[in-house]
Amino acid sequence: MLKSWFSSRIGGGNTKYMFPTVDPQEDGPDCLRDCADCTVQYPSKFHVDSERKIYGKVKPFATHVLVATGKSDWVSKPASERGTLVHALNEAPTKSGSEGLMVNVSNLTTHKYKSSDSSDDSKDPATTLLLLPSFEFVDNVTISSVPEFMSRFVDKATETPSPSSQLTSRPCGHDYVVLLCSHKRRDARCGISAPLIKKELERHLRPAGLYRDTDDDRPGGVGIYFVSHVGGHKFSANVLVYRKHDEQLIWLARIRPEHCEGLVKYTILQGKVVHPESQLRGGFDNQRGVTSW
């Protein structure tokens, strides 16, 4: 069971934050400097809350589910839309209760499947889900298959699928997944910031051969996806960094284009935070068994 970093820290070293921070003596004198040659900038009227304390203010969850829609903007509250998969997932009970699951719609490609008992105009269309931090895709998920999905892939109550099961799983080949809130209909700042941050991240990832788009199935690298409201749009841009091999989520906020170079070099690739005092919202480290909540 994961335990809160705040209740478990015992002093010594850097115990203020659960993730390591950059150190000029170790990472070089430029580690705290923001990029000076960004190709994009926020509009002059782009304002966020820069005063409020944000560390440790994230609602608890253990599993993050991304629903593929192929879109980058959605209705204001997707989970309130009855008759949709995201609504069914949010209403589904879990072993750990409602705090165990976080569900977002995403711009992951929607996959359409045909089976002997379904048609193109099916009222229960199938799509793909991405589970984090397990880095696992589950295909053919429908509203009617949500109970089976929850039992097999979230609660881990059953491992063997029934003979009639349509659900199939496959690993996500990325080493890192970066999520950007792009939910413009919820807050215009997210719709403005997400494409600009993605463009700047790509600029730093491509020369190193690390960027992966939705059609790139090469193993490794960094996948960047847009998601619906994650909370705290007043702190845009919200950036969630999942690191597969370290089993971590590092959740940052107030990210601007000039922060992207350090975000790639230190946070994504090394698990270090450059400006924790103003940007770190929280996260978890499953290998160490700690969370920020």
The predicted pLDDT at position 116 comes to 44
DSSP per residue over 143-172, as a string? Answer: GGGHHHHIIIIIS----SPPTT---EEEE-
Q: Which residue has the tokens 């192929």?
A: 70
Between the alpha carbon of residue 169 and those of residues 62, 76, 252, 254, 265, the distances in Å are 19, 30, 29, 35, 31
The predicted pLDDT at position 12 comes to 43
Rounded to the nearest angstrom, the gap between the alpha carbon of residue 147 and the centroid of all alpha carbons in its chain is: 23
| SS3 of residue 122 by DSSP | coil
List the pLDDT tens digit at each of the 293 positions of the chain. 566 765 555 444 456 899 999 999 999 999 999 988 888 999 999 999 999 999 998 899 999 999 999 999 999 999 999 999 999 999 998 876 556 899 999 999 876 655 545 444 467 889 999 999 999 999 999 999 999 999 999 998 887 888 889 999 999 999 999 999 999 999 999 999 999 999 999 999 999 999 998 888 899 999 999 999 999 999 999 999 999 999 999 999 999 999 999 999 999 999 999 999 999 999 999 999 999 98
Is the model's pTM score more than 0.85?
yes
Q: Which domains does the chain have, with CATH numbers?
A: 3-56+174-291 (3.40.30.10), 63-171 (3.40.30)
Q: Is the peptide bond before 133 cis (omega within 30 degrees of 0)?
A: yes
Q: Which residue has the tokens 């966020």?
A: 48
The predicted pLDDT at position 18 comes to 93
Cα distance between residue 161 and residue 164, in whole Å: 8
The predicted pLDDT at position 5 comes to 61
Q: Is the peptide bond before 237 cis (omega within 30 degrees of 0)?
A: yes
Cα distance between residue 159 and residue 9, in whole Å: 36
The predicted pLDDT at position 99 comes to 60
Cα distance between residue 25 and residue 28, in whole Å: 6
